[in-house]
Amino acid sequence: MPTIGFIYPDHAAEDDYPLAERILGDGTALPVEHIYGTDLHAVPELLDLGSPARLAEGASLLARHEPDAVVWACTSGSFVYGWDGAAEQVAGLSEAAGGKPASSTSFAFVHAAQTLGVRKVAVAASYPDDVAKLFVEFLGRGGVDVVSMSAADIDTAAEVGELPPEQVVTLTVDRDHPDADALLVPDTAMRTLGLVDDIETRIGKPVLTANQVTVWEGLRIAGVTRAYDGLGTLLRTEGRR
């Protein structure tokens, strides 16, 4: 089974990845290495967090795991660069990882929506409004129409990581929209993997969360196409394009 490496910024909800490894249960390894910067949800800090030097450091740390693929597990630290800049970011990460397939959480959301045939979405963002709007723009470049976006205006990733499960559920469920085909929850600092199935049951539609789509994207670029239970509609869908 493959080893998929994740570069995770600072510390918040990285325990979602060993949880995903246990839920997959097939021997797929999901090692996480950390890079550090200011965890403020603000554009200058996010540009620094996703810089080539920091991601090269993350790739170097992951090298000891001999990953088959590498993913930058940070949504805001990728979409803040815009579509073209995020593509350059991923290309640089692949090069730093010795030519291994690479991607980021922002592209994972677009690829996941395409796989599910989702065109209209609601976004439940934890970010301040100005940062959340950049995510909306990124999705639009990927052909995903945001019919509703709410921003919780939480300043730091650390604060998001401290949200209790019941508050995460409320923050997401209450921000669905009847015209949306799916609900997107874009912050990898938010613990969501153990809640996806519950949220989907409550709103009756697919839910795409940052750590969920990041794991899925890693499987996709590593060539894994099988379906898995316990991580929402997305992982139960066979085939990854």
- 86: which residues sit within 8 A by CB, 6+ positions away? 78, 79, 104, 106, 107, 138
Give the pLDDT of residue 241.
Answer: 56
For residues 106-111, give the mean pLDDT.
Answer: 98
For residue 6, CA distances in Å to 33, 56, 139, 239 come to 6, 12, 22, 21
CB atoms within 10 A of CB 121: 26
User: Does residue 142 register a pLDDT over 60?
Assistant: yes
Better-predicted residue by pLDDT, 126 or 33: 33
**Domains of the chain, each with CATH number or no CATH:** 4-107+211-236 (3.40.50.12500), 117-209 (3.40.50.12500)
Mean pLDDT over the full length of the chain:
94
For residues 197-224, give the mean pLDDT.
Answer: 97
pLDDT tens, residue by residue, 35-90: 998 777 889 899 999 999 999 999 999 999 999 999 999 999 999 999 999 999 99
User: Does residue 113 register a pLDDT over 90?
Assistant: yes
Give the pLDDT of residue 239.
Answer: 60
pTM exceeding the 0.85 threshold for the entire prediction? yes
pLDDT tens, residue by residue, 154-209: 867 778 878 888 989 998 999 999 999 999 999 999 999 999 999 999 999 999 99
- 122: which residues sit within 8 A by CB, 6+ positions away? 146, 147, 148, 149, 150, 175, 176, 177, 180, 182, 183, 184
